[in-house]
Copies of this chain bind each other. A is one copy, B any other.
Amino acid sequence: MFSLTVCDHIMIAHSFQGEEFGPAQRMHGATYAVEAEFRAPKLDRLNLLRRILDTVDYRNLDEMPQFQGQNTTTEYMAFHIWGLLAAALKDGVLGEGGRAVSGLKVLLREAPGAWAAYEGAIY
């Protein structure tokens, strides 16, 4: 099984609901270093990821309709970006190469010693 990983990053603002989040209930932000691992032999390496990250980059996630009532934790954002990438692959955005992708993992590093990921098969 081949895998190909491309990296990029986004810088967002958000706040969390719930006492267990402590000071993270305040409006704050994060640089998320994003690693997208595609499990398939050949792919356009960079353009797809950048296009999808542009939909959330330099945004206050609290004000975006799609995130209402949702804590945009690191693991949730990994899942959200995974969903956008998986949909693009199924839509044939990457051509035949993209349709050959069988698995996808999206990992977001929020700080030097903490990260979260979501991975799943692509049908």
How far in angstroms is the closest Cβ of chain B from A7?
Answer: 4
Complex Cα distance, B26 from A2, in Å, reads 25
Work out how many copies of this chain go into the complex: 6
Task: Say yes or no: B113 contacts A6, CB within 8 Å.
Answer: yes
**Cα distance A97–B15 when bound, in Å?**
21
Interface 1/0 per residue, A1-42 and B, CB below 8 Å: 111111111011110000000011011111111000000011
Complex CA–CA separation, A33 to B26 (angstroms): 19
Asked if A28 contacts B112 (CB within 8 A), the reply is no
- The residue of chain B having its C-beta at the shortest distance from the C-beta of A25 within the complex is B58
Q: How far does the alpha carbon of A59 sit from the alpha carbon of B7 in the complex, in Å?
A: 24
Chain B hits for A27, CB < 8 A: 13, 59-60, 63
